[in-house]
Amino acid sequence: MKEAFVSQSENDDIVKDVFIIIGYSVASIVIVLSLLWGYNTNTNLFIAIYSLVIILYNVMIISIVVMNKNIYDSTSYTVIFGTTIFSIFLTFFIGVFFVYKYFVVSPLKDTRIIQSVNNSYNY
């Protein structure tokens, strides 16, 4: 009776799949922790981080669509490509707007609150 061993190509595929799963798990943990940090810090920062995640996702989608463009017909390729580009630009402007709000508007509001609290407790 002949024993069945794992071939080298099967071993390489298994190792590749394990490292892909570990990479996705680490990326998921990093994304969740950064979103939690942004949410607990400031709502504007959360939206900016969320926008960055959406941009990265859209870049991945557009890369996959461009690499596999031969499986799409002209209409579906144009719709997917166009909506993804539109989503990238829209999300970029939303992210930049909330980063601006986080760095410019939030410190101004905080100092006004601190000054009003300090002024109200003068004896």
- pLDDT at residue 103 above 70? yes
Per-residue model confidence (pLDDT) at position 114: 58
For residue 84 the two structure tokens come to: 């993804």
Question: Among 58, 59, 80, which Cα is nearest to 69's?
Answer: 80
Report the share of the chain in percent with pLDDT over 90. Answer: 51
For the residues 59-84, what does the mean pLDDT come to? 92
What are the pLDDT digits (tens) for 7-40?
888 889 999 999 999 999 999 999 999 889 888 8
Give Cα separations from 38 to 33, 43, 90, 99 (angstroms).
Answer: 9, 7, 20, 11
Answer for the pair 12, 20: CB distance below 8 angstroms, yes or no.
no
What are the pLDDT digits (tens) for 5-14?
778 888 899 9
pLDDT band of 43, cuts 50, 70, 90: confident
Answer for the pair 48, 38: CB distance below 8 angstroms, yes or no.
yes
Answer for the pair 96, 55: CB distance below 8 angstroms, yes or no.
no
Answer for the pair 80, 65: CB distance below 8 angstroms, yes or no.
yes
